[in-house]
A and B are shown apart, each in its own frame.
Chain A
């Protein structure tokens, strides 16, 4: 199955993947729509990163995803690469995945004679590994629209300013209830084997009055959670403080706390 081909063609060319036949699904217009259904946003898997980044409904109801899509590769890659491809390829460094995780995205997988719905965190098992079956096609990505009481942040860290694979990417959403944080969601990409929410850290912030100390503590916990999930690696020496620093920055942005 080929859509944009920005990952697939490279894998084939490098001999990592062999395919006798490819089914090109890139010209199925029904799978290339962004729809609003009540308070839901439904995105077809063939919507490109470029389309996501410039979509009105996304900017309004899920700006974190628009920013993530806009950080992918280069204009050429954003014009070819699709959100479906980004999910199915399941690279740990995929930019849209942390955004979809904090949005609580559900995926619709269809096969002949059936379909199933599952959250994105259940879909991705590990690096480049998902639960999709050989007969299944990802047909829709859905999540609840965010109203303007939500604040969001997406930060991408890479070795250069464009056309680079994420070293770390972070998506954060938060919503206040008066003085206290009513809801917060944090996901860190390129840092854990499978995409996930940083629940321990979220718990520290949820219900709290935002402060520098809370943010500091939550950021530290995120870094710890990352290490707990991915184990100590040669990159940990760098990633632990960098993740902590970036999460802090993202939380400061959404909770409106100056550094």
Chain B
């Protein structure tokens, strides 16, 4: 009997059925006896000093239990994943429309909402800054530390020398819009005092162990007094890496000792949570006549909004990925992030790489066109190989699947003709490639995991890795099942509870399959050895002759069933032994030189290439995406169906980035103004899984979550450019923008 769920099998998601049937309980579904409700008062000023917060009248309103302001925070009123610049509740100042000022807890949501309107905040308006360039030159400070959040650089070779060797140099400036993640489930949580007296918060999140640390800091408590549980989470795309409801709820429970619930409306999720960084990217690329890139100079300025969030990480990543997956001997990159009084920008699927990929892939197409080269050829000519040296001096030693991706897509390109457009419309085909470093940048970012076999022979896997809809629960169980020699149905999974699960770090940076996958694999491997050693003892068979297969202990020699896991469990019970395996993995990286970025930022990289066919209506600027071919080097597909799911979702999101998504602060309130693609906007997707094994990965796996999105938008833009004979340099290519390019092309403007 072959048990289901081994690595490489396309089994259904283990969380799928409950979600489809509506049985999964999300934070907003949780109900408790005596549950109180919270609402948040938010700033309606972009930049203002707070003179006074008067809660007296509101506190006396019907149903109101208590109102909290910054004065009630017993610990440190500063949070933030990287730089701690974000007050839980505003103190002297508000820095964007949406900054949290006060919390109302009442017996019902309605009463809490009513009381919000009765809180009087006296402001003194300050000069607001909405432009990152202005922020850097302004005397008005958004934060006392200055308006420059950070600067990151990558320097390799001598860029001036490089350009002097170039036969062709192309310079362009690209810009992208602020985007909103628009995860299905608006942020939500419930908090209470658990049976051990801990302040317990159960919320929608991508990083429960980080949340725990921020709650501890803001309340000034011992870590053991706080417990964070990840609720079933309906998508995050990076936004749920920031603290949203967690500290608010914990603060209320700290004082009230009663269960409290906070559920954001869609509008609140739009107003108050992180956005994608809009970037201005100046690119200068030099090539030789033969198409080889010799030099690249890039200057990137991002608007990080009111708070740092993941801004520093995005700056680092965009600087390091600016070249694209290409050999460039002379590189000079500067990436800066400026504070403004916009909503704060943070992590969003791809950490800035969807933006830079738009720029470097537009450059590649421009160069190809000028040189009269095929777009595949110029990319293949410059793409990384085994042994290539990146701009940070890292030698790529393993799993460099970019050429495979390009070649596999090229095969399709040869087979499929560009459809001839119907009357009046124009067709075009575009390609784009990308690379993406798996895990955090040039720093420790470990994950731990634990595997146990209890005395009844039941296997339990403990992980802190947040499942947010991407499929990590299933993938980690498949890794454990393969390593242990058991079936998926034999696994009990305990996930995302800081009281019992080991820290796995954030579900971000496409890192959980690679990093937690390794930790889980090691935990399972250690447990397996322990089980076999115990079995060996009581069976009196050398451990080298034993194996676990189909959840049974068998002889390696003839496959004879010698005993069961249950027996081993029972035996260990009698002897008072515990069977626990622990696993740990931290990807081998180095810290980077702060001036030159030199070092090993990531242990491994994912690669991809997308090809898109579009049809453009030059009378209206409408773009139909007809087909997307998407090749991804994932190292090893632990669950191919899940990889395809990630690719499809990335493509859908990429269509949004390319054609319609644009968050305009102060104007975009909800999904009425902010359009994401519907099923009708998403065409046939042809996924191609490329497996160039990564030997430091679990079973050779890397990651695909963010890479799936990155090449789609640049490929769409390249396709539109080819269809119209124009060069779009700003995203999104909405109706008006495409039309403008059409008119410009025809000489009408």
Residues of A within 8 A of B (CB): 10, 14, 74, 157, 159-165, 167-168, 235, 237-238, 241-242, 244-246, 248-249, 258-259
Contacting pair A159 B675 (CB below 8 A): yes
With known contacts A159-B675, A242-B620, A259–B681 Cβ distance under 8 A: no
Contacting pair A160 B660 (CB below 8 A): yes
Residues of B within 8 A of A (CB): 423-424, 617-622, 659-660, 669, 672, 675, 677-681, 734-736, 739-740, 743, 748
- Give Cα A162–Cα B676 distance, bound, in whole angstroms: 11
Cross-chain pairs A/B with CB under 8 angstroms, 7 sampled: A161-B678, A163-B678, A237-B740, A238-B621, A242-B619, A242-B735, A258-B423
Contacting pair A160 B675 (CB below 8 A): yes
Contacting pair B739 A159 (CB below 8 A): no
- Give Cα A242–Cα B424 distance, bound, in whole angstroms: 13
Contacting pair B735 A164 (CB below 8 A): no
Interface centre among A10, A161, A258 (most CB of B within 10 A): A161
With known contacts A10-B672, A249-B619, A167–B424 Cβ distance under 8 A: no
Contacting pair B735 A241 (CB below 8 A): no
The residue on A at minimum CB distance from B424 is A259
- Give Cα A159–Cα B659 distance, bound, in whole angstroms: 8
Give every chain B residue within 8 A of A245 (Cβ-Cβ).
Answer: 617-620
With known contacts A159-B660, A259-B423, A242–B739 Cβ distance under 8 A: yes
Contacting pair B680 A162 (CB below 8 A): yes
Contacting pair B678 A159 (CB below 8 A): no
Of A162, A249, A259, which contacts B678 at CB under 8 A? A162
Give every chain A residue within 8 A of B735 (Cβ-Cβ).
Answer: 157, 159, 167, 238, 242
- Give Cα A237–Cα B621 distance, bound, in whole angstroms: 13
* Smallest CB separation, B107 vs chain A (Å): 22
Of B659, B672, B736, B748, which contacts A238 at CB under 8 A? B736
* Smallest CB separation, B321 vs chain A (Å): 29
- Give Cα A157–Cα B735 distance, bound, in whole angstroms: 10
Known interface pairs A162-B679, A238-B621, A248-B619; 7 further A-B residue pairs with C-beta atoms within 8 A, sorted by A's residue number: A161-B678, A162-B681, A238-B735, A241-B619, A242-B621, A245-B617, A249-B424
The 8 A-B pairs of least Cβ separation, nearest first, read A245-B619, A161-B680, A238-B736, A162-B680, A162-B678, A259-B423, A242-B620, A161-B681
- Give Cα A246–Cα B424 distance, bound, in whole angstroms: 11
Give every chain B residue within 8 A of A157 (Cβ-Cβ).
Answer: 620, 622, 735
Give every chain B residue within 8 A of A161 (Cβ-Cβ).
Answer: 678, 680-681
Of A168, A241, A249, which contacts B743 at CB under 8 A? A241
- Give Cα A153–Cα B305 distance, bound, in whole angstroms: 47
Give every chain A residue within 8 A of B748 (Cβ-Cβ).
Answer: 241
- Give Cα A157–Cα B623 distance, bound, in whole angstroms: 11
* Smallest CB separation, B304 vs chain A (Å): 28
The residue on A at minimum CB distance from B737 is A238
* Smallest CB separation, A243 vs chain B (Å): 9
With known contacts A238-B736, A242-B735, A259-B424, A160–B621 Cβ distance under 8 A: no
Interface centre among B618, B620, B621, B736 (most CB of A within 10 A): B620
- Give Cα A159–Cα B623 distance, bound, in whole angstroms: 10
- Give Cα A140–Cα B424 distance, bound, in whole angstroms: 41
Contacting pair B681 A246 (CB below 8 A): no
Give every chain A residue within 8 A of B672 (Cβ-Cβ).
Answer: 10, 165
Interface centre among A14, A163, A248 (most CB of B within 10 A): A163
* Smallest CB separation, A231 vs chain B (Å): 18
Of B618, B669, B677, B740, which contacts A160 at CB under 8 A? B677
- Give Cα A235–Cα B681 distance, bound, in whole angstroms: 24
- Give Cα A165–Cα B740 distance, bound, in whole angstroms: 21
* Smallest CB separation, B535 vs chain A (Å): 58
- Give Cα A248–Cα B678 distance, bound, in whole angstroms: 28
Contacting pair A160 B678 (CB below 8 A): yes
* Smallest CB separation, A250 vs chain B (Å): 11
Give every chain B residue within 8 A of A249 (Cβ-Cβ).
Answer: 424, 619
- Give Cα A168–Cα B622 distance, bound, in whole angstroms: 12
Of B423, B619, B743, which contacts A246 at CB under 8 A? B619
* Smallest CB separation, B475 vs chain A (Å): 32
Give every chain B residue within 8 A of A164 (Cβ-Cβ).
Answer: 675
Give every chain A residue within 8 A of B619 (Cβ-Cβ).
Answer: 241-242, 244-246, 248-249
* Smallest CB separation, B537 vs chain A (Å): 64
Contacting pair A159 B424 (CB below 8 A): no
Contacting pair A238 B739 (CB below 8 A): yes
- Give Cα A167–Cα B734 distance, bound, in whole angstroms: 12
- Give Cα A168–Cα B619 distance, bound, in whole angstroms: 12
The residue on A at minimum CB distance from B736 is A238
- Give Cα A159–Cα B734 distance, bound, in whole angstroms: 7
- Give Cα A164–Cα B678 distance, bound, in whole angstroms: 10
Give every chain B residue within 8 A of A235 (Cβ-Cβ).
Answer: 736
- Give Cα A141–Cα B622 distance, bound, in whole angstroms: 34
* Smallest CB separation, B201 vs chain A (Å): 28
The residue on B at minimum CB distance from A242 is B620
The residue on A at minimum CB distance from B732 is A159
- Give Cα A149–Cα B27 distance, bound, in whole angstroms: 59
Give every chain A residue within 8 A of B423 (Cβ-Cβ).
Answer: 258-259
Give every chain A residue within 8 A of B675 (Cβ-Cβ).
Answer: 159-160, 164
- Give Cα A28–Cα B679 distance, bound, in whole angstroms: 35
With known contacts A238-B735, A241-B743, A160–B681 Cβ distance under 8 A: yes
Give every chain A residue within 8 A of B669 (Cβ-Cβ).
Answer: 14
- Give Cα A160–Cα B678 distance, bound, in whole angstroms: 8
The residue on A at minimum CB distance from B620 is A242
Give every chain B residue within 8 A of A162 (Cβ-Cβ).
Answer: 678-681
Give every chain B residue within 8 A of A10 (Cβ-Cβ).
Answer: 672
Give every chain B residue within 8 A of A74 (Cβ-Cβ).
Answer: 678
* Smallest CB separation, A188 vs chain B (Å): 13
The residue on A at minimum CB distance from B680 is A161
- Give Cα A56–Cα B675 distance, bound, in whole angstroms: 33
Give every chain B residue within 8 A of A168 (Cβ-Cβ).
Answer: 620
